[in-house]
Chain A
Amino acid sequence: MTYIAKPKFAHPSLQPNAVGYTRRDYEGRVSTLCAGCGHDSISAAIVQACFELDLEPHRLAKLSGIGCSSKTPDYFLGASHGFNTVHGRMPSVLTGANLANRSLVYLGVSGDGDSASIGLGQFAHSIRRGVNMTYIVENNGVYGLTKGQFSATSDKGSKSKKGVVNHDSAIDMVSLALQLGATFVARSFSGDKAQLVPLIKAALRHKGAAFIDTISPCIAFNNHAGSTKSFDWVREHNEAVNRLDVMIGRSPITADYSEGSTVQVEQHDGTVLTLRKLAADYDPTDRIRAMGFLQERAAAGEVVTGLLYVDPEAEDLHDALGTTRTPLNELNTADLTPGSAALSDINASLR
């Protein structure tokens, strides 16, 4: 056996959600990543987010590139179609898939090697086109599958497991996404499920390009002293600007927001994002100030997490193209082929 299926056994007390699925229905195969890998925590957060959103698993398409992170779509939402594409090229494939059928939910999962190096161009262009997707980068700052090389998000001055010091500047995916016009930008930490799950929920409900950079320590090659992507380092330097809850119309807000001020953002589809402000002067709807705030805190050595920017009025690529509401893959011969009469007119115009 070169794949591992999960046992069919499920606890009878598992509660179904509003569309009749239990949490078990959102799981996939058994992970073959290292025990303790941050990516598995992200997979678990995706499972929980989709369950809580009452998203029918088969209505989500999950796409990835190549690398540890890109293996993970096999480990969640087993009833969804998945596509493990080629290195760094997931964004174009997702864009094409989205063009073909706008009615599905698109989740792109990538890594820092996949998206910040070979795939930087495709990442950038899918974001600037406003493809309606949730794009998660599982960012561990290292090449895991090839055993420990620095990636383009490794911080300058951080150390590899072998003690080598990185001399290149890091690419900050969040700053890039903001600059490129992403309409939902967040950063989180695989070890902070309470923050990550609502962010994924909000991103999945967002119309337009939603980007979540998730620091996800590599337990095998980047979880040592000197690393700025280790569990300990991120816990010590995490500066959360807000905490989020998502209200999908019928759902009551369950989180306790008694401490600090809150801000509510209503998206196109009626989703209400309620943010408990931790940084008092932080406004998640101000792109310019968000960019400045990020740079300022990064200079102070902090990793800012939370919902960093959202445009609740965002439009997507289909809006820009004026595409028909009917998914293109459902159009039939009569919709698509102009017929022989039109062709006769065309012939006549070419003489």
Chain B
Amino acid sequence: MPITAVNDFVVKFANVNGSGSASANGLFVKSILRSGVPVAARNIFPSNIQGLPTWYEVRVSGEGWMGRRGGVDLMVAMNPQTWDKDVAEIEPGGYLFYDSTRPMPADKFRSDITVIGAPLQRICNTAYSDPRQRQLFKNIIYIGVLAYLLGIENTVIETLLAEQFATKPKLIPANIEAFHMGVTYARENLKPLGLQVKTADAVGDRIFIEGNDAAGLGAVYGGATVCAWYPITPSTSLAESFTNWCQKLRVDKETGESKFAIVQAEDEIASIGMVVGAGWNGARAFTCTSGPGISLMQEFIGLSYFAEIPAVIFDVQRGGPSTGMPTRTQQSDILSAAYASHGDTKHVLLLPRDPGECFEFGAMAFDLADRLQTTIFVMLDLDMGMNEWLTEPFKWDDAKQLDRGKIMTAEMLDAGRDFGRYLDVDGDGVPFRTYPGTHPSKGAYFTRGTSRDRYARYSEEGAVYVDNMERLLRKFETAKSLVPQPIEAKAGKPTRFGVIHYGSTGPAMDEAMAALEAQGLYVDALRIRAFPFPGEVFDFIERHDLVFVIEQNRDAQLRTLLMAEGGVDPARLVKILHYEGAPITARFITKEITALMGAPVQSEMAK
């Protein structure tokens, strides 16, 4: 039986990298959003510019589930190279849409799916003589066919095309014409599918934006003035976003002067070096990178930790180790960020869930860096960073002042305040600092990566070193109360089972929790939003007999961190790991937890 569903299905586009499909697919997603139906879209693309397979998976969910569900209801198969794999991925009863210009042998189809062909290339070849036009308009034509098949209003797409080409109005009529070629062909030759988009009001005032873009805007609102970066997928668009937002929001209209400085460094080492230099000198500075960049930055991260210099690093995680899978997603830099550099170090990690938190944490990171005088990592991943997500609108409290932390001013020095750069005056482990140039005779000190006493004087005395290292631990303890606290989602019924998850796993976890409850399986879910872990994290583990820790890496890195920092019995933390490079799905989580909560775990728990 063909699948029938209204506002709840998965469409996957199989394309060729460089064929111009991205804007057409984006248009498709926007048209569903403008119909008032929540949608989540994910690019699955190769580390290549042109010619290799690329996919675009669209989750349409009137219920508002924004993670990947798993499975495909409608495959738009535009890449012969991946045909067999794409066809195999379709759910029983699902749909296959393809370009029927050339006949395909019968064994290339499946009997349990509905096949819809449209001669896209023939239509293009008839309408256009220019090869590039034939390619680009083919994409718009298939959007027209799909709009008819799924019941999307023409006017929605016409409006979007007008918006998309607002700066090149000559292109609008040609695109609308191509769109109608598709609609017309479908109306005359095809029947609407069992999958339908019905206008709804379920999007509300939510916005649609990439996490990197949101984080770049967050850095603007967080008062970042210096960005030093080096191009690396998937973080590049974060620096580009910061540049764009700064040019819009931070250029003085009268003088034309920029209230920011952005430098594309020669490498990752120089980029973090500039951040450390700027942070030392009192500017809010950041870099953005990915795992390989973090590896290169280790030495400076240690300096930031030990010399206590504010720095912010946005780590947009990708598939590792080494060059790994540069354009695939993972959460596999957790440990290397938490304990980055040699010697005893611990760093603050912020773990946003979606673009809304990318903005919020992106701004907050600079307050934290100044307050704690250390490196703050904001841990995005490719899924969140480079895909547009539906998220709550950004909010800002105009009463909020940037928190510059403990700065000893010239006035304070003149008033006789004792200044020791590494003195723990408040017992929270956080010392006062002075900016270079503060006072003619007081407050200058020498910053170094070597051991020193409370007054910044070089010292290799064991007791002095230990005193300093213990204070750094006190500071890390202080961080627990400053970082975003975890959020617990309680199950519908009391349960002995818990789930811990973080970051971009959140949306799929929400859906999995509902799916589990539908099966009568109840789990409380705790979403960790930062490291160091506030006490509530360990309370949660204490309150549950068994806690599943869901991660998108092979080695259960967060679980390791929980064991290392909280002394948790490993047997109580059960790994659920998904690390093949595509974002985790609700079905995967549901299946794993269902299996674990079945007989084996129940009997284990009964012992």
A residues within 8 Å of B by Cβ? Answer: 2-3, 56-59, 61, 63, 73-74, 78-86, 89, 91-101, 103-104, 121-122, 124-125, 129, 317-318, 321-325, 328-329, 331-333, 335-340, 342-343, 346-347, 350-351
Query: Which single member of A2, A63, A322, A337 contacts B256 (CB below 8 Å)?
Result: A322
Q: Whole-angstrom distance between the alpha carbons of A97 and B459 in the complex?
A: 26
A residues near B220, Cβ cutoff 8 Å: 336-338
Beyond A99-B283, A342-B249, A343-B394, whether A86 also contacts B226 by CB under 8 A is no
B residues near A95, Cβ cutoff 8 Å: 228, 263, 270, 273-274, 277
A residues near B441, Cβ cutoff 8 Å: 58, 79
Q: Whole-angstrom distance between the alpha carbons of A98 and B411 in the complex?
A: 24
**B522 contacts partner chain A, Cβ-Cβ < 8 Å:** no
**B142 contacts partner chain A, Cβ-Cβ < 8 Å:** no
In the complex, the answer to whether B226 meets A338 with C-beta atoms within 8 Å is: no
Q: Which of B369-427 contact A (CB under 8 A)?
A: 393-398, 400-402
Digit string of B206-232 for contact with A (CB within 8 Å is 1, else 0)? 111100000001001101011010000
In the complex, the answer to whether A321 meets B394 with C-beta atoms within 8 Å is: no
- What are 21 A-B interface contacts by the 8 Å CB criterion? A59-B437, A61-B436, A61-B437, A63-B277, A80-B444, A84-B446, A86-B299, A89-B269, A92-B273, A93-B274, A93-B276, A98-B277, A99-B283, A100-B277, A324-B259, A328-B226, A335-B259, A336-B220, A338-B249, A343-B221, A347-B393
In the complex, the answer to whether A346 meets B446 with C-beta atoms within 8 Å is: no
Q: Sort A-B residue pairs by CB-CB distance and give the 7 closest, nearest first.
A: A96-B277, A92-B273, A100-B283, A96-B274, A329-B282, A81-B436, A93-B277
Since A83-B446, A329-B435, A336-B259 are in contact, a sample of 15 more A-B pairs with Cβ atoms closer than 8 Å, ordered by chain A residue number, is: A61-B281, A82-B447, A84-B446, A89-B269, A91-B273, A92-B265, A95-B263, A96-B228, A97-B277, A99-B283, A328-B226, A336-B223, A337-B223, A347-B205, A350-B209
Q: Whole-angstrom distance between the alpha carbons of A59 and B249 in the complex?
A: 31
In the complex, the answer to whether A84 meets B449 with C-beta atoms within 8 Å is: yes
Q: Mostly helix, strand, loop or mixed at chain B's interface?
A: loop
In the complex, the answer to whether A325 meets B257 with C-beta atoms within 8 Å is: yes
Which residue of chain A has the shortest Cβ distance to B445 in the bound complex?
A81
Q: Mostly helix, strand, loop or mixed at chain A's interface?
A: helix
In the complex, the answer to whether B439 meets A58 with C-beta atoms within 8 Å is: yes
Beyond A86-B299, A93-B273, A328-B225, whether A336 also contacts B402 by CB under 8 A is yes
Q: Whole-angstrom distance between the alpha carbons of A186 and B95 in the complex?
A: 74
**B136 contacts partner chain A, Cβ-Cβ < 8 Å:** no
Q: Kindly provide the distance from the CB of B147 to the nearest chain A CB, expressed in whole angstroms.
A: 20
A residues near B402, Cβ cutoff 8 Å: 332-333, 336-337
Q: Kindly provide the distance from the CB of A270 to the nearest chain B CB, expressed in whole angstroms.
A: 22
A residues near B580, Cβ cutoff 8 Å: none
In the complex, the answer to whether B437 meets A92 with C-beta atoms within 8 Å is: no
Query: Which single member of B249, B395, B437, B450 contacts A84 (CB below 8 Å)?
Result: B450
Q: Kindly provide the distance from the CB of B398 to the nearest chain A CB, expressed in whole angstroms.
A: 5
B residues within 8 Å of A by Cβ? Answer: 33, 203, 205-209, 217, 220-221, 223, 225-226, 228, 249-250, 252, 255-263, 265-267, 269-283, 285, 299-300, 303, 393-398, 400-402, 434-441, 444-450, 457-461
Query: Which single member of A80, A318, A335, A337 contacts B221 (CB below 8 Å)?
Result: A337
Beyond A74-B446, A84-B446, whether A99 also contacts B440 by CB under 8 A is no
B residues near A333, Cβ cutoff 8 Å: 223, 400-402
B residues near A56, Cβ cutoff 8 Å: 440
Beyond A61-B281, A350-B208, whether A89 also contacts B300 by CB under 8 A is yes
Query: Which single member of B209, B274, B396 contacts A92 (CB below 8 Å)?
Result: B274
Beyond A78-B444, A89-B300, whether A340 also contacts B398 by CB under 8 A is yes
Q: Kindly provide the distance from the CB of A23 to the nearest chain B CB, expressed in whole angstroms.
A: 16
In the complex, the answer to whether B273 meets A337 with C-beta atoms within 8 Å is: no
Which residue of chain B has the shortest Cβ distance to A341 in the bound complex?
B398
A residues near B460, Cβ cutoff 8 Å: 2
Which residue of chain B has the shortest Cβ distance to A66 in the bound complex?
B449
Among A82, A93, A98, A122, find the residue whose CB has the most chain B CB atoms closer than 10 A.
Answer: A93
In the complex, the answer to whether A328 meets B267 with C-beta atoms within 8 Å is: no
Beyond A2-B458, A99-B274, A333-B401, whether A321 also contacts B262 by CB under 8 A is yes
A residues near B396, Cβ cutoff 8 Å: 337, 339-340, 343
Query: Which single member of B250, B269, B282, B445 contacts A101 (CB below 8 Å)?
Result: B282
Which residue of chain B has the shortest Cβ distance to A99 in the bound complex?
B261
In the complex, the answer to whether A101 meets B444 with C-beta atoms within 8 Å is: no
Beyond A2-B461, A86-B303, A328-B225, whether A100 also contacts B281 by CB under 8 A is yes
Query: Which single member of A3, A98, A322, A329 contacts B458 (CB below 8 Å)?
Result: A3
Q: Whole-angstrom distance between the alpha carbons of A342 and B491 in the complex?
A: 39
A residues near B217, Cβ cutoff 8 Å: 346
Q: Kindly provide the distance from the CB of A269 to the nearest chain B CB, expressed in whole angstroms.
A: 18
In the complex, the answer to whether A58 meets B273 with C-beta atoms within 8 Å is: no
B residues near A321, Cβ cutoff 8 Å: 258, 261-263
Beyond A86-B303, A104-B437, whether A121 also contacts B249 by CB under 8 A is no
B residues near A84, Cβ cutoff 8 Å: 446-450
B residues near A2, Cβ cutoff 8 Å: 457-461
A residues near B223, Cβ cutoff 8 Å: 331, 333, 336-337
In the complex, the answer to whether A347 meets B436 with C-beta atoms within 8 Å is: no
Q: Whole-angstrom distance between the alpha carbons of A97 and B275 in the complex?
A: 8
Q: Whole-angstrom distance between the alpha carbons of A104 and B438 in the complex?
A: 11
Which residue of chain B has the shortest Cβ distance to A335 in the bound complex?
B259
In the complex, the answer to whether A329 meets B281 with C-beta atoms within 8 Å is: yes
Beyond A93-B273, A125-B266, A347-B393, whether A329 also contacts B283 by CB under 8 A is yes
Q: Whole-angstrom distance between the alpha carbons of A317 and B263 in the complex?
A: 10
Which residue of chain A has the shortest Cβ distance to B213 in the bound complex?
A350
Which residue of chain B has the shortest Cβ distance to A121 in the bound complex?
B266
Q: Whole-angstrom distance between the alpha carbons of A337 and B436 in the complex?
A: 24
Query: Which single member of A99, A318, A325, A346 contacts B394 (CB below 8 Å)?
Result: A346
B residues near A343, Cβ cutoff 8 Å: 221, 394-396
In the complex, the answer to whether B225 meets A331 with C-beta atoms within 8 Å is: yes
In the complex, the answer to whether B459 meets A347 with C-beta atoms within 8 Å is: no
Q: Whole-angstrom distance between the alpha carbons of A228 and B140 in the complex?
A: 72
Which residue of chain A has the shortest Cβ distance to B258 in the bound complex?
A322
Q: Whole-angstrom distance between the alpha carbons of A101 and B25 in the complex?
A: 46
Among B260, B267, B397, B450, find the residue whose CB has the most chain A CB atoms closer than 10 A.
Answer: B260
In the complex, the answer to whether A83 meets B437 with C-beta atoms within 8 Å is: no
In the complex, the answer to whether B273 meets A85 with C-beta atoms within 8 Å is: yes
Beyond A61-B436, A79-B440, whether A96 also contacts B281 by CB under 8 A is yes
Beyond A324-B259, A338-B220, A347-B207, whether A100 also contacts B300 by CB under 8 A is no
Which residue of chain A has the shortest Cβ distance to B458 in the bound complex?
A3
Q: Kindly provide the distance from the CB of A198 to the nearest chain B CB, expressed in whole angstroms.
A: 25
A residues near B459, Cβ cutoff 8 Å: 2-3
A residues near B445, Cβ cutoff 8 Å: 81-82
Q: Whole-angstrom distance between the alpha carbons of A338 and B250 in the complex?
A: 8
Q: Kindly provide the distance from the CB of B128 to the nearest chain A CB, expressed in whole angstroms.
A: 33
In the complex, the answer to whether B273 meets A96 with C-beta atoms within 8 Å is: yes
